[in-house]
Amino acid sequence: MAQEAGSRGPIGWVSMRTDAAGDPRPFDALLATVRRLVAPGGCAWHEAQTHESLTQFLVEETAELIDAIERQLPPSEIQSELGDVLYQVLFHAAIAERDGEGYEFDGIASTLNEKLVRRHPHVFGDRGYMTVEELHAEWERLKEDAAGEDRGSRGPLEGIPAGMPTLARAAKVIERLKRAGLIDPGAGDAYPEDPLAALIGPDEQRLAEFGIGDAMLAMLMRANRAGVDPDRALRLAVDRLTARVLHDEG
C-alpha cells in the first residue's frame, strides 16, 4: 500500500507518496527535485530564472520533441524529449509556487482535469456517441463558452497567441475565419482583398512583399481545403530539400 512521506526543503514540506517498497513514486520524486532546484539555496541558475527567461527553452524543447516524433526516433529518445517538455511545465509551476503567484502543481492538475472532463461530455457525461466532426464542433463551442465567461464577448480571432510562428498563426486565423463563416477557402484561392494595395505606389520592394504575402495566404487557403498542416508540410519540404542538397554534395 502506498504511504505518504515528507521531506523538509527550503520552501516547506514536500509530500511524497511511496510505493510498497517505501520508494517515492517517480512523479512525486520529480516534483520534489524541481522544487529543490528553484528554491533558495538550490541551484543558482534555476533560482534566477523567470517565466519570461524560460520561454525560449519551452520553444526549443517542444521543437526537439516534434523533430523526434517526425524522424521516428527510438521510443527511448521520444520518452526523453517528452520528459524535457514536462520539465519546462514543472519549472514554470515551481516558480509560481515559490513566488506565491496564486497557482501551483496541484492547482494546475486540478484545473486541467476539470477542463478535460467538462470538454468531453460524451465520455464523462450523458451525451453518448459523437462523430469526429461533432466532437470538433462541440469542442470549439465549449471553448468559446468558457472564454466568454472569462473575458466577456470575443471576436473570432481573439485568443490566438501573437507569439505563434507566423505561418502557424496565419493557418489558425484562416481556420477561425472559416468557422465564423467569414471566408470560404473552398471557393478557390481567393483571399481577402487589401484595400490599401492600390495606394502603395511604384515601390517595387513593397509590391513584391505584398505579392509574396498574398501568394502565401492563398497557399494556406489551399492547405486548409486539403486538410494539410502547412507548418508540417513546410518542415518536411525543407527536410527534403536539405536531404537532396546534402546527397548531391556527397
For every residue of 80-129, DSSP letters joined together read HHHHHHHHHHHHHHHHHHHTT-S--HHHHHHHHHHHHHHT-HHHHSS---
Q: Rounded to 5 degrees, what are φ and ψ at 3?
A: -120, 160
Per-residue pLDDT reduced to its tens digit, 19-60: 666 677 899 999 999 999 999 999 999 999 999 999 999 999
SS3 track for 46-73: HHHCCHHHHHHHHHHHHHHHHHHHHCCC
- Asked whether residue 142 carries a pLDDT value surpassing 80, the answer given is no
Confidence (pLDDT) at 34 = 97
> What pLDDT digit, counting tens, does each position of 151-196 carry?
455 677 787 887 778 788 888 888 888 877 887 877 654 455 555 5
Return the percentage of the chain with pLDDT > 90, whole number. 39
Q: Strand, helix or coil at 243?
A: helix
Percent of the chain at pLDDT > 70 equals: 77
Lowest mean pLDDT among 57-61, 69-73, 143-147, 197-201: 197-201
| Of 35-49, 63-77, 233-247, the least confident | 233-247
| pLDDT at position 3 over 60 | no
**Rounded to whole angstroms, how far apart are CA atoms 72 and 236?**
13
Q: Are 109 and 115 in contact (CB under 8 A)?
A: no
Distance, in Å, from the CA atom of 74 to the CA atom of 66, rounded to the nearest integer, reads 13
| Residue whose C-alpha cell reads 526543503 in the numeric block | 9
User: 26 vs 125, which has greater pLDDT?
Assistant: 26
pLDDT at residue 247 is higher than 70? yes
Among the residue ranges 57-66, 74-83, 229-238, the one predicted with the least confidence is 229-238
CB under 8 Å to 102, separation ≥6 — which residues? 96
Task: At 18, give phi and psi (nearest 5°).
Answer: -120, 160
pLDDT of residue 246: 62
Mean pLDDT of all residues belonging to the chain: 81
Residue 4's pLDDT band, with cuts at 50, 70 and 90, is: very low
The residue ranking higher by pLDDT, 143 or 194, is 143
Strand stretches in 92-242, DSSP E: none
List the grid coordinates of 88: 519546462
